[in-house]
Amino acid sequence: MSNFLLNAGRQTLLLELQEASRLPDRLDESFVRAAETIINCKGKLIVSGIGKSGHIGKKLAATFASTGTPAFFVHPAEALHGDLGMIDSRDVMLFISYSGSAKELELIIPRLEERNVVLLAMTGKSQSPLALAAAAVLDISVEREACPMHLAPTSSTVNTLMLGDALAMAVMQARGFSEEDFARSHPAGALGARLLNNVHHLMRKNEEVPQVSNDASVMDAMLELSRTGLGLVAVCNENGSVDGVFTDGDLRRWLVKGGTLNDAVNTAMTTGGVTLQAQERAIDAKEILMRHKISAAPVVDEHGRLCGAINLQNFYQAGIL
């Protein structure tokens, strides 16, 4: 039984791959016309389809929507019972139907024509009513389905998904859609956390920021270290600029070399040190800490004045790993 199941699975994959391998050679002027129609659309891309085509259509609508093209899925039956009201002349409809002769099309196509809505088709039948009414036709035809009974949509749904993805990716790249744009559509995801957060979104502020003046003592700095637990203290001048940092390591080294807690902190601190800009991307700031092999740093504003502090834990808590 196990060999039978493995062979059946492999045969399905091989048949679907064989059919899909023909798709690149089918891309022609019709594909370009479909892509340009979507790029120039002033409204929304409406994706529709029935059965397995509808399931693929929902995925494709989501892909377009997350890559810069406002899009949503409308079921043909729902369209005929009120949802056509969502569609106007600025929109484009992409209808998916392998046969291209779904009964609903008899009513949908005239309504789209009345509203001057451009129709794009994904179909396996080039002479079907859908194909003949469409401004551009994407060919998803297959020589055979992977289903041994040649009944269940298998190879054809793979073709639909792949050709739809090809269309979405071509449109996305033509729009110049970037990682930052993608992140704005996925603000709760890991990519959103990495690309949308700046240092000022994550940093400690106000009383949570460890700081002393440059005329403070080592004792003052040690107490500030203990109070905030960040592992460093920013040593600032009267203008609020950071002259240096005093860390747990600086304290140990100072005491080992014979220094006292009453000495001035500016004689024991690390002069200068690494500071981060409040407006820089959090992911870039984290890389700076990793590159310098430190766990925390003061944050300064555009005028170079201390405005916060941040450590690696703040990045990890925000999902920036």
16/155 Cα distance (integer angstroms): 5
Answer yes or no: are the C-beta atoms of 295 and 312 closer than 8 Å: yes
Name the residue among 232, 208, 202, 209 with its Cα closest to residue 320.
202
- Terminal-to-terminal C-alpha distance of the chain: 45
User: Which residues does 55 contact at the CB level (< 8 Å), separation at least 6?
Assistant: 157
Answer for the pair 155, 16: CB distance below 8 angstroms, yes or no.
Answer: yes
On whether the CB atoms of residues 272 and 247 are closer than 8 A, the answer is no
CA distance 91 to 117: 6
Rg (alpha carbons) of the chain, rounded to whole number: 31
Please, what is the angle between helix 2-20 and helix 155-175, to 10°?
50
Tokens representing 161 are 């998904």
Provide CB contacts within 8 A for 222, sequence distance 6+: 251, 261
DSSP letters along 249-289, please?
HHHHHHHHTT--TTSBGGGTSEES---EETTSBHHHHHHHH
- DSSP letters for 143-200: S--SSTTS-S-SHHHHHHHHHHHHHHHHHHHHHT--HHHHHHH-TTSHHHHHHH-BHH
Judge whether 75 is annotated as a binding position: yes
Find all residues with CB under 8 Å of 74, minimum gap 6, and list them: 46, 47, 48, 83, 86, 87
Q: Which residues are annotated as a binding site for Zn(2+)?
A: 75
Q: Which residues are annotated as a binding site?
A: 75
